[in-house]
Structure 1
Amino acid sequence: MKKIGFLIFLLTISLNIFSQDENQKINGKVLNDANDTPIENVHIVNMNQVIGSISKEDGSFSISAKVNDTLYFSYLGFKSIRVRVTNDWFKFGEIKIKMTELGIALEEVVLRPVQLTGYLEVDAKIIPIYDNYRYSISGLNTGYEGGQNQPSAVSKAMSAVFNPADFLYNVFGKRPAQMRKLRQMKTDDNIRNLLQSKFDRETLMVVLQLEKVDIDEILNNCNYSETFIRTANDLQILDAMSECYEEYRVLNRRKN
């Protein structure tokens, strides 16, 4: 009888361990912490598995996760939060996530159009000249600068392949887990939709475990202009970093 009880105990432990390692759908609801009203279109990213979801009109959401995965909640005008998945999520069903609204003060923006004089020699010196190379992303109507099309872009990646002290070598060569997440982010439509509307690099920093200065330095080393780095949205930044990394991988394979 004692042996049977012991076997049942071992079986229960095994099932619990298995359930923790198994992907399951978890459900929740996102609410405004101030008045408990539901928040629609909150972006939820599973940072461990690099998959995304969006809250519905009633604030409800569903996403695949395992115990100890971290979910990242982001919505314009609210403070982004990270929540670790626990066994309670699976035991008690729907969990309420409350987000705090931020006070945003908009700064005055002054537009200064180019003032033309009508004299060709003078106006030719006034009008700014942009030599950024442009290309387009599938699904977007707008184009933007492409680093690898610039004359010295390939030599930058090649230099990183052959120089262990190079910044790109230290980022691309020594952080395979983060670079895998970079590739995963490109394939998830929910994450791409989130990044398309953001300019703060916050989601990229959280998922890739990089600082903003690191992201800027990667793009600078990949020959993107300061204008592009300053004005591009997070989706454009993601695609630019990914393009540079893929170029690095191709050159690295050829080297080996």
Structure 2
Amino acid sequence: MKLTIKKYRKISVFTSCLFLFFFFCFTAKSQENKNISISGQVLQAKNLEVISRATISIKRTRMGTICDSLGVFHLQIQQADTLVISALGYQTKEWAVPFIFNPEFPPFFSIKMEDISYLLDDVDIYALGSWDEFKDDFLNAEVKEKNPINTDIKKQLKPYNTRKPNPVPAQYRPKNEKLGVVQAIFAPTDFLFGKLSKSEKNKRKLSKRIKEEGKNNKISKKYNAQIVADATGLEGDELLDFMGFCGKKIHVTENSTDYDVMKQILDLYKEYTTKEE
């Protein structure tokens, strides 16, 4: 009878241990893929001073965060993750996160980093004489750029930039600026909306006005009273009379060159002076 009780106790103890083992494994496995919010602080190993702006990333996903000015960080991880911590002047460290038994209340971790030293090559320093000698040598020195910037890149790309930029801001552009027969056939809903919508009509009017103002501004920069006065030397009423004489005779567009405009002004000025004589 005693042997049976002892045997039963051994079996029950073994069964309990086996149950706890499987329960622990199951719990660990279920928490392995669960996100856990952890916090910690990055410190120097020598004097335990904080390391600010250290970069902390998860090795598994390469996602991470940056410490604040106090070296504190907050991160979402999973069980058995490894963190990669790097900071300027310190050795990069891989830190395996300890097993967290209670994910709802994880501990506050402290990560210590070792500093690193860099040996620089020897540098020879020579005296350059007086300040004037140094200034002359500095100004006359030829510096060759390893990767010179191509200043003519716009000229090279100009033949390919055939599309003119739209001067109308995006918020004032109608959805369909060109309402043609093709759109009426293949997109009747958009066509009717563009034709009947009051907001689209207002946008088309405003867009047209902005484009016209842009053209007029470009033309006024090429042909105005100041340019005519500089070219002819006229002032006051004579200048106004000459510009009235030019009227529709002068043809200036936004694509006209400065040479073309100046030639027209001078030709008309000759005609104007001949007429007065």
Q: TM-score, normalised by structure 2?
A: 0.36
Q: TM-score, normalised by structure 1?
A: 0.39
Please identify the structure whose Cα radius of gyration is greater. 2
